[in-house]
Amino acid sequence: MPKQTHKLEDLQIRRWVAKGEPVAISDGDGLTFTLSAGGTASWILRYRVGGGRRKELTLGNYPDLALAAARKLARTHRAAIDSGADPATEKRTERARAVSAWTIKDLADDFEEKVLKPPLADGTIYYRKWDLVNIVRPKLGPLEVRKVAPADIVHMIEKSGRSWTVCKRLLTTTTQLFAHACGKRMIDVNPCVGITLKALMGPRPPVKPRVMLTEDEMRTLLVGIDDTIGRENGLALRILFATCVRSIELAKARWEHVDFERNTWVVPDQSVKTRAGFLVPITPTVRHWFECLKAIAGDSEWVLPARTALRRKKHGDTHVGNTTLWASIDRAFTRGGLDIRRFTPHDTRSTAKGHMRNMKIPNEITELALNHKLKGMERIYDVREDIPERREALELWAAFIVACAAGRPWNVVSINATA
Protein backbone atom coordinates (compact mmCIF):
# COMPACT_ATOMS: atom_id res chain seq x y z
CA MET A 1 0.00 0.00 0.00
CA PRO A 2 1.56 3.34 -1.00
CA LYS A 3 2.44 5.77 1.78
CA GLN A 4 -0.32 8.35 2.38
CA THR A 5 0.73 11.98 2.06
CA HIS A 6 -1.20 14.16 4.50
CA LYS A 7 -2.02 17.74 3.56
CA LEU A 8 -3.07 19.32 6.86
CA GLU A 9 -1.06 20.61 9.80
CA ASP A 10 -2.35 21.35 13.27
CA LEU A 11 -1.13 24.97 13.14
CA GLN A 12 -3.14 25.53 9.95
CA ILE A 13 -6.27 24.15 11.56
CA ARG A 14 -5.93 26.36 14.64
CA ARG A 15 -5.58 29.40 12.37
CA TRP A 16 -8.73 28.49 10.41
CA VAL A 17 -10.67 28.05 13.64
CA ALA A 18 -9.42 31.40 14.96
CA LYS A 19 -10.35 33.11 11.68
CA GLY A 20 -13.88 31.66 11.85
CA GLU A 21 -14.56 31.44 8.12
CA PRO A 22 -16.28 28.31 6.74
CA VAL A 23 -13.84 25.83 5.17
CA ALA A 24 -13.78 22.23 3.95
CA ILE A 25 -10.20 21.00 3.35
CA SER A 26 -9.17 17.43 2.56
CA ASP A 27 -6.33 15.77 4.45
CA GLY A 28 -6.23 12.96 1.92
CA ASP A 29 -7.80 9.52 1.55
CA GLY A 30 -11.29 10.91 2.24
CA LEU A 31 -10.56 12.60 5.58
CA THR A 32 -11.84 16.19 5.49
CA PHE A 33 -11.70 19.01 8.03
CA THR A 34 -14.81 21.23 7.99
CA LEU A 35 -15.61 24.47 9.77
CA SER A 36 -19.22 25.63 9.63
CA ALA A 37 -20.48 29.21 9.55
CA GLY A 38 -21.63 28.66 13.13
CA GLY A 39 -18.08 27.85 14.23
CA THR A 40 -18.38 24.05 14.57
CA ALA A 41 -15.18 22.26 13.53
CA SER A 42 -15.59 18.61 12.53
CA TRP A 43 -13.86 15.67 10.91
CA ILE A 44 -15.72 14.00 8.02
CA LEU A 45 -14.75 10.77 6.27
CA ARG A 46 -15.94 10.70 2.66
CA TYR A 47 -16.01 7.36 0.88
CA ARG A 48 -17.75 5.13 -1.66
CA VAL A 49 -18.82 1.50 -1.28
CA GLY A 50 -18.41 -0.65 -4.38
CA GLY A 51 -18.28 2.31 -6.72
CA GLY A 52 -21.66 3.61 -5.55
CA ARG A 53 -22.62 7.14 -4.51
CA ARG A 54 -20.39 9.06 -2.13
CA LYS A 55 -21.23 8.82 1.56
CA GLU A 56 -20.10 10.74 4.60
CA LEU A 57 -19.37 9.67 8.17
CA THR A 58 -18.86 12.23 10.93
CA LEU A 59 -15.90 11.10 13.04
CA GLY A 60 -16.05 13.81 15.71
CA ASN A 61 -15.48 17.47 16.49
CA TYR A 62 -12.18 19.34 16.63
CA PRO A 63 -10.37 19.89 19.02
CA ASP A 64 -12.04 17.03 20.98
CA LEU A 65 -10.73 14.79 18.21
CA ALA A 66 -7.23 15.99 17.38
CA LEU A 67 -5.59 15.71 13.95
CA ALA A 68 -3.54 12.58 14.75
CA ALA A 69 -6.51 10.84 16.38
CA ALA A 70 -8.75 11.72 13.42
CA ARG A 71 -6.24 10.18 11.00
CA LYS A 72 -6.02 7.02 13.09
CA LEU A 73 -9.81 6.69 13.29
CA ALA A 74 -10.14 7.35 9.55
CA ARG A 75 -7.60 4.58 8.79
CA THR A 76 -9.60 2.14 10.93
CA HIS A 77 -12.84 2.95 9.11
CA ARG A 78 -11.09 2.93 5.73
CA ALA A 79 -9.81 -0.61 6.36
CA ALA A 80 -13.35 -1.72 7.19
CA ILE A 81 -14.69 0.01 4.07
CA ASP A 82 -12.11 -1.76 1.92
CA SER A 83 -13.46 -5.01 3.35
CA GLY A 84 -17.00 -4.11 2.25
CA ALA A 85 -18.34 -2.39 5.38
CA ASP A 86 -20.51 0.74 5.25
CA PRO A 87 -19.94 2.62 8.55
CA ALA A 88 -22.40 5.48 7.83
CA THR A 89 -25.26 3.06 7.19
CA GLU A 90 -24.26 0.98 10.21
CA LYS A 91 -24.25 4.11 12.39
CA ARG A 92 -27.75 5.10 11.23
CA THR A 93 -29.02 1.57 11.79
CA GLU A 94 -27.52 1.46 15.27
CA ARG A 95 -29.03 4.84 16.12
CA ALA A 96 -32.47 3.76 14.83
CA ARG A 97 -32.21 0.51 16.79
CA ALA A 98 -31.36 2.44 19.96
CA VAL A 99 -34.30 4.83 19.48
CA SER A 100 -36.71 1.98 18.80
CA ALA A 101 -35.80 0.50 22.19
CA TRP A 102 -36.70 3.69 24.08
CA THR A 103 -38.80 3.47 27.20
CA ILE A 104 -41.63 5.87 28.03
CA LYS A 105 -39.19 7.68 30.33
CA ASP A 106 -36.81 8.24 27.40
CA LEU A 107 -39.68 9.42 25.22
CA ALA A 108 -40.98 11.79 27.91
CA ASP A 109 -37.50 13.29 28.35
CA ASP A 110 -37.24 13.92 24.61
CA PHE A 111 -40.80 15.27 24.47
CA GLU A 112 -40.01 17.78 27.22
CA GLU A 113 -36.82 18.90 25.49
CA LYS A 114 -38.22 19.17 21.96
CA VAL A 115 -41.89 20.11 22.44
CA LEU A 116 -42.54 21.62 25.87
CA LYS A 117 -41.01 25.04 25.35
CA PRO A 118 -42.04 28.50 24.09
CA PRO A 119 -44.07 29.62 22.24
CA LEU A 120 -46.29 27.23 24.23
CA ALA A 121 -47.97 29.08 27.09
CA ASP A 122 -46.30 28.75 30.48
CA GLY A 123 -49.43 27.17 31.90
CA THR A 124 -49.52 24.55 29.14
CA ILE A 125 -45.87 23.66 29.72
CA TYR A 126 -46.40 23.48 33.48
CA TYR A 127 -49.40 21.12 33.35
CA ARG A 128 -47.94 18.90 30.61
CA LYS A 129 -44.81 18.44 32.76
CA TRP A 130 -46.96 17.88 35.85
CA ASP A 131 -48.83 15.07 34.11
CA LEU A 132 -45.57 13.47 32.96
CA VAL A 133 -43.83 13.71 36.33
CA ASN A 134 -46.71 12.70 38.57
CA ILE A 135 -48.66 10.17 36.51
CA VAL A 136 -47.17 9.08 33.17
CA ARG A 137 -43.59 8.35 34.26
CA PRO A 138 -44.55 6.55 37.50
CA LYS A 139 -47.15 4.36 35.73
CA LEU A 140 -45.60 3.75 32.30
CA GLY A 141 -41.97 4.88 32.60
CA PRO A 142 -40.18 1.48 32.40
CA LEU A 143 -42.28 0.19 29.47
CA GLU A 144 -40.85 0.19 25.95
CA VAL A 145 -42.67 2.67 23.74
CA ARG A 146 -43.38 0.03 21.09
CA LYS A 147 -44.98 -2.29 23.63
CA VAL A 148 -47.47 0.15 25.18
CA ALA A 149 -51.02 -0.94 24.38
CA PRO A 150 -54.26 1.07 24.58
CA ALA A 151 -55.17 -0.97 27.67
CA ASP A 152 -52.10 0.44 29.44
CA ILE A 153 -53.31 3.99 28.77
CA VAL A 154 -56.82 3.15 29.98
CA HIS A 155 -55.48 1.55 33.17
CA MET A 156 -53.25 4.55 33.89
CA ILE A 157 -56.12 7.02 33.57
CA GLU A 158 -58.64 4.93 35.51
CA LYS A 159 -56.23 4.31 38.39
CA SER A 160 -55.01 7.91 38.58
CA GLY A 161 -57.88 8.83 40.90
CA ARG A 162 -58.17 12.29 39.34
CA SER A 163 -61.22 14.32 38.43
CA TRP A 164 -62.91 14.16 35.04
CA THR A 165 -61.28 17.44 33.98
CA VAL A 166 -57.77 16.40 35.06
CA CYS A 167 -58.16 13.02 33.34
CA LYS A 168 -59.20 14.80 30.15
CA ARG A 169 -55.99 16.84 30.35
CA LEU A 170 -54.00 13.68 31.13
CA LEU A 171 -55.39 11.96 28.04
CA THR A 172 -54.43 15.01 25.95
CA THR A 173 -50.89 14.98 27.37
CA THR A 174 -50.52 11.26 26.71
CA THR A 175 -51.93 11.57 23.19
CA GLN A 176 -49.41 14.31 22.38
CA LEU A 177 -46.60 12.23 23.89
CA PHE A 178 -47.34 9.28 21.61
CA ALA A 179 -47.88 11.60 18.63
CA HIS A 180 -44.27 12.63 19.26
CA ALA A 181 -43.29 8.96 19.07
CA CYS A 182 -45.19 8.62 15.77
CA GLY A 183 -43.36 11.66 14.45
CA LYS A 184 -40.04 9.99 15.24
CA ARG A 185 -41.31 6.84 13.45
CA MET A 186 -40.89 4.78 16.61
CA ILE A 187 -44.48 3.54 16.32
CA ASP A 188 -46.98 3.48 13.47
CA VAL A 189 -50.20 3.96 15.45
CA ASN A 190 -50.88 6.18 18.45
CA PRO A 191 -52.25 3.88 21.21
CA CYS A 192 -54.43 6.73 22.51
CA VAL A 193 -56.52 6.84 19.34
CA GLY A 194 -60.10 5.83 20.07
CA ILE A 195 -59.89 6.27 23.85
CA THR A 196 -62.60 8.59 25.17
CA LEU A 197 -63.22 9.98 28.64
CA LYS A 198 -66.93 9.24 28.27
CA ALA A 199 -66.16 5.53 27.92
CA LEU A 200 -63.83 5.58 30.93
CA MET A 201 -65.61 7.94 33.32
CA GLY A 202 -69.04 8.62 31.88
CA PRO A 203 -70.34 11.98 30.65
CA ARG A 204 -68.59 15.13 31.73
CA PRO A 205 -70.03 16.43 35.02
CA PRO A 206 -71.99 19.67 34.75
CA VAL A 207 -69.67 22.66 34.56
CA LYS A 208 -69.82 24.68 37.76
CA PRO A 209 -71.42 28.03 36.96
CA ARG A 210 -69.38 31.17 37.43
CA VAL A 211 -69.89 32.99 40.72
CA MET A 212 -70.71 36.68 40.84
CA LEU A 213 -70.10 37.81 44.41
CA THR A 214 -72.89 40.07 45.63
CA GLU A 215 -72.28 43.51 47.10
CA ASP A 216 -72.79 42.07 50.59
CA GLU A 217 -70.31 39.28 49.85
CA MET A 218 -67.78 41.78 48.47
CA ARG A 219 -68.16 43.82 51.65
CA THR A 220 -67.73 40.73 53.84
CA LEU A 221 -64.68 39.68 51.83
CA LEU A 222 -62.89 43.02 51.62
CA VAL A 223 -63.49 44.52 55.07
CA GLY A 224 -60.34 43.59 56.99
CA ILE A 225 -58.97 41.53 54.09
CA ASP A 226 -55.38 42.53 54.95
CA ASP A 227 -55.79 40.94 58.39
CA THR A 228 -57.39 37.85 56.86
CA ILE A 229 -54.84 37.01 54.14
CA GLY A 230 -52.00 39.49 54.75
CA ARG A 231 -51.29 42.98 53.44
CA GLU A 232 -49.52 41.92 50.23
CA ASN A 233 -52.19 39.38 49.33
CA GLY A 234 -54.91 41.90 50.20
CA LEU A 235 -53.45 44.50 47.83
CA ALA A 236 -53.05 41.85 45.12
CA LEU A 237 -56.69 40.78 45.49
CA ARG A 238 -57.90 44.39 45.20
CA ILE A 239 -55.84 44.91 42.03
CA LEU A 240 -57.05 41.59 40.61
CA PHE A 241 -60.67 42.61 41.06
CA ALA A 242 -60.13 46.19 39.86
CA THR A 243 -58.11 45.44 36.70
CA CYS A 244 -60.07 42.32 35.63
CA VAL A 245 -56.86 40.48 34.68
CA ARG A 246 -56.23 36.78 35.21
CA SER A 247 -54.41 35.82 38.40
CA ILE A 248 -51.38 34.43 36.54
CA GLU A 249 -51.03 37.74 34.67
CA LEU A 250 -50.78 39.60 37.96
CA ALA A 251 -48.47 37.02 39.55
CA LYS A 252 -45.98 37.51 36.69
CA ALA A 253 -46.17 41.32 36.55
CA ARG A 254 -42.83 43.17 36.39
CA TRP A 255 -42.22 46.76 37.42
CA GLU A 256 -40.67 47.49 34.02
CA HIS A 257 -44.17 47.06 32.55
CA VAL A 258 -45.87 49.41 35.03
CA ASP A 259 -45.69 53.02 33.82
CA PHE A 260 -46.63 55.50 36.54
CA GLU A 261 -46.19 58.43 34.15
CA ARG A 262 -48.75 57.16 31.64
CA ASN A 263 -50.71 55.27 34.30
CA THR A 264 -50.64 52.05 32.30
CA TRP A 265 -49.60 48.46 32.87
CA VAL A 266 -48.59 46.35 29.87
CA VAL A 267 -49.21 42.62 30.23
CA PRO A 268 -46.69 41.03 27.81
CA ASP A 269 -47.48 38.25 25.34
CA GLN A 270 -45.77 35.49 27.33
CA SER A 271 -47.94 36.15 30.39
CA VAL A 272 -51.25 35.94 28.54
CA LYS A 273 -53.38 32.84 27.96
CA THR A 274 -54.09 33.90 24.36
CA ARG A 275 -50.40 34.82 23.77
CA ALA A 276 -51.40 38.38 22.82
CA GLY A 277 -50.29 41.10 25.22
CA PHE A 278 -52.52 44.00 26.15
CA LEU A 279 -52.58 47.33 27.98
CA VAL A 280 -54.36 47.84 31.30
CA PRO A 281 -55.32 51.38 32.38
CA ILE A 282 -54.12 52.19 35.90
CA THR A 283 -56.75 54.33 37.57
CA PRO A 284 -55.81 56.59 40.52
CA THR A 285 -57.19 54.07 43.01
CA VAL A 286 -55.28 51.16 41.48
CA ARG A 287 -52.14 53.29 41.21
CA HIS A 288 -52.18 53.75 44.98
CA TRP A 289 -52.37 49.99 45.49
CA PHE A 290 -49.48 49.45 43.06
CA GLU A 291 -47.43 52.07 44.94
CA CYS A 292 -48.07 50.22 48.19
CA LEU A 293 -46.82 47.00 46.57
CA LYS A 294 -43.77 48.85 45.25
CA ALA A 295 -42.83 49.81 48.81
CA ILE A 296 -43.15 46.17 49.87
CA ALA A 297 -41.26 44.77 46.84
CA GLY A 298 -38.17 46.92 47.44
CA ASP A 299 -35.46 46.28 44.84
CA SER A 300 -37.19 43.27 43.24
CA GLU A 301 -38.08 43.53 39.55
CA TRP A 302 -41.37 41.76 40.31
CA VAL A 303 -44.58 43.39 41.50
CA LEU A 304 -45.20 40.34 43.70
CA PRO A 305 -41.75 38.91 44.53
CA ALA A 306 -41.30 35.40 45.89
CA ARG A 307 -41.66 35.26 49.66
CA THR A 308 -40.26 31.90 50.71
CA ALA A 309 -36.52 31.41 51.13
CA LEU A 310 -36.78 28.06 49.34
CA ARG A 311 -38.32 29.59 46.19
CA ARG A 312 -35.78 32.44 46.17
CA LYS A 313 -32.91 29.99 46.63
CA LYS A 314 -34.16 27.86 43.74
CA HIS A 315 -35.10 30.64 41.29
CA GLY A 316 -33.36 33.80 42.56
CA ASP A 317 -35.35 37.03 42.26
CA THR A 318 -38.62 35.68 40.90
CA HIS A 319 -42.35 36.16 41.29
CA VAL A 320 -44.69 34.46 43.73
CA GLY A 321 -46.14 31.13 42.72
CA ASN A 322 -49.10 31.22 40.37
CA THR A 323 -51.41 29.93 43.11
CA THR A 324 -49.98 31.84 46.10
CA LEU A 325 -52.88 34.29 46.39
CA TRP A 326 -55.51 31.57 46.05
CA ALA A 327 -53.77 29.34 48.56
CA SER A 328 -54.08 32.14 51.12
CA ILE A 329 -57.79 32.57 50.33
CA ASP A 330 -58.39 28.80 50.55
CA ARG A 331 -56.71 28.76 53.96
CA ALA A 332 -58.99 31.58 55.08
CA PHE A 333 -62.04 29.60 53.95
CA THR A 334 -60.75 26.45 55.68
CA ARG A 335 -60.27 28.13 59.04
CA GLY A 336 -63.65 29.86 58.78
CA GLY A 337 -62.30 33.34 58.20
CA LEU A 338 -64.54 34.03 55.19
CA ASP A 339 -68.30 33.65 55.55
CA ILE A 340 -69.23 33.87 51.86
CA ARG A 341 -69.58 31.47 48.94
CA ARG A 342 -66.34 29.89 47.80
CA PHE A 343 -65.09 31.43 44.59
CA THR A 344 -62.35 30.68 42.08
CA PRO A 345 -59.72 32.99 40.55
CA HIS A 346 -61.83 33.33 37.41
CA ASP A 347 -64.83 34.39 39.47
CA THR A 348 -63.13 37.73 40.14
CA ARG A 349 -63.68 38.47 36.44
CA SER A 350 -67.32 37.36 36.41
CA THR A 351 -67.89 39.45 39.55
CA ALA A 352 -66.36 42.50 37.88
CA LYS A 353 -68.35 41.93 34.70
CA GLY A 354 -71.64 41.59 36.56
CA HIS A 355 -71.27 44.65 38.76
CA MET A 356 -70.11 46.85 35.88
CA ARG A 357 -73.16 45.80 33.89
CA ASN A 358 -75.32 46.70 36.92
CA MET A 359 -73.71 50.15 36.74
CA LYS A 360 -75.09 50.42 33.19
CA ILE A 361 -71.62 50.24 31.70
CA PRO A 362 -72.04 49.16 28.04
CA ASN A 363 -71.37 45.51 27.38
CA GLU A 364 -68.62 46.21 24.83
CA ILE A 365 -66.73 48.25 27.44
CA THR A 366 -67.00 45.49 30.03
CA GLU A 367 -65.74 43.03 27.41
CA LEU A 368 -62.73 45.27 26.78
CA ALA A 369 -62.15 45.50 30.53
CA LEU A 370 -61.81 41.70 30.58
CA ASN A 371 -59.45 41.84 27.57
CA HIS A 372 -62.03 40.18 25.33
CA LYS A 373 -61.89 41.15 21.68
CA LEU A 374 -64.54 43.34 20.09
CA LYS A 375 -66.66 41.69 17.43
CA GLY A 376 -67.38 42.53 13.82
CA MET A 377 -66.47 45.85 12.22
CA GLU A 378 -65.79 47.52 15.56
CA ARG A 379 -62.90 45.13 16.13
CA ILE A 380 -61.43 46.07 12.77
CA TYR A 381 -61.71 49.84 13.00
CA ASP A 382 -61.41 50.63 16.73
CA VAL A 383 -57.65 50.16 17.14
CA ARG A 384 -57.16 52.32 20.22
CA GLU A 385 -54.94 50.92 22.97
CA ASP A 386 -55.90 53.14 25.88
CA ILE A 387 -59.66 53.56 25.50
CA PRO A 388 -61.01 56.40 27.69
CA GLU A 389 -64.37 54.69 28.20
CA ARG A 390 -62.60 51.63 29.57
CA ARG A 391 -60.51 53.73 31.94
CA GLU A 392 -63.63 55.55 33.17
CA ALA A 393 -65.47 52.27 33.71
CA LEU A 394 -62.58 50.75 35.65
CA GLU A 395 -62.35 53.78 37.95
CA LEU A 396 -66.06 53.51 38.72
CA TRP A 397 -65.58 49.80 39.44
CA ALA A 398 -62.55 50.58 41.67
CA ALA A 399 -64.67 53.07 43.62
CA PHE A 400 -67.17 50.26 44.25
CA ILE A 401 -64.33 48.08 45.61
CA VAL A 402 -63.13 50.89 47.89
CA ALA A 403 -66.66 51.39 49.23
CA CYS A 404 -66.99 47.68 49.97
CA ALA A 405 -63.57 47.55 51.67
CA ALA A 406 -64.63 50.48 53.87
CA GLY A 407 -67.89 48.74 54.78
CA ARG A 408 -69.98 51.41 53.10
CA PRO A 409 -73.05 50.70 50.96
CA TRP A 410 -72.59 51.53 47.30
CA ASN A 411 -74.58 54.43 45.94
CA VAL A 412 -75.66 53.07 42.59
CA VAL A 413 -74.15 55.27 39.88
CA SER A 414 -74.36 54.54 36.18
CA ILE A 415 -71.57 55.28 33.74
CA ASN A 416 -73.86 57.80 32.04
CA ALA A 417 -74.46 59.67 35.30
CA THR A 418 -70.72 60.25 35.70
CA ALA A 419 -70.37 61.86 32.29
The length of the chain is 419
Instruction: Indicate the fold that domain 104-201 takes in CATH.
Output: DNA polymerase; domain 1 (1.10.150)
Predicted pLDDT at 98? 62
The answer to whether the CB of 229 falls within 8 A of the CB of 329 is yes
CATH superfamily ID and name for 10-99 = Integrase, DNA-binding domain (3.30.160.390)
Provide the CATH number for the domain formed by 215-405 in this structure: 1.10.443.10
String of b and e for 368-379 (b: at least 16 CB within 10 Å)?
A: bbebeeeeeeee
* pLDDT value of residue 272: 66
Position 322 scores a pLDDT of 86
| Residue partners of 118: CB distance under 8 A and separation at least 6 | 270
Secondary structure (3-state) at 202: coil
pLDDT reported for residue 375: 61
312 burial type by CB count under 10 A (0-12 exposed, 13-18 middle, 19+ buried): middle
Q: Given this chain, do its domains 10-99 and 215-405 carry the same CATH topology?
A: no
How many other C-beta atoms can be found within 10 angstroms of the C-beta atom of residue 343? 20
User: Which segments of 86-230 does DSSP mark as H helices, in order?
Assistant: 87-100, 104-114, 122-131, 137-140, 150-158, 164-183, 197-201, 215-222, 225-229
In angstroms, the CA 357 to CA 332 distance is 29
Q: What is the pLDDT of residue 328?
A: 93
pLDDT at 377: 41
Instruction: Please name which of 207, 211, 206 lies closest in space to residue 344, comparing C-alpha atoms.
Output: 211
User: What are the boundaries of each domain within the chain?
Assistant: 10-99, 104-201, 215-405
Is this structure's pTM higher than 0.85? no
Please, are residues 262 and 251 in contact by the beta-carbon 8 Å criterion? Answer: no
Alpha-carbon distance of 352 to 219, in angstroms, equals 14
List per-residue pLDDT tens for the chain, 419 residues long. 444 556 888 898 999 999 889 999 899 888 999 999 888 999 999 888 877 788 888 888 999 999 999 999 998 888 888 777 887 777 776 666 666 778 999 999 999 999 999 888 878 898 999 999 999 999 999 999 999 999 999 999 999 999 999 999 999 999 999 999 999 888 999 999 999 999 999 999 998 889 999 999 999 999 999 999 999 999 999 999 999 999 989 999 999 999 999 999 998 876 665 556 789 999 999 999 999 999 999 999 999 999 888 888 888 889 998 889 999 999 999 999 899 999 988 899 999 999 999 999 999 899 988 888 766 544 443 445 668 889 999 999 999 999 999 999 887 655 554 44
Q: What is the pLDDT of residue 52?
A: 74
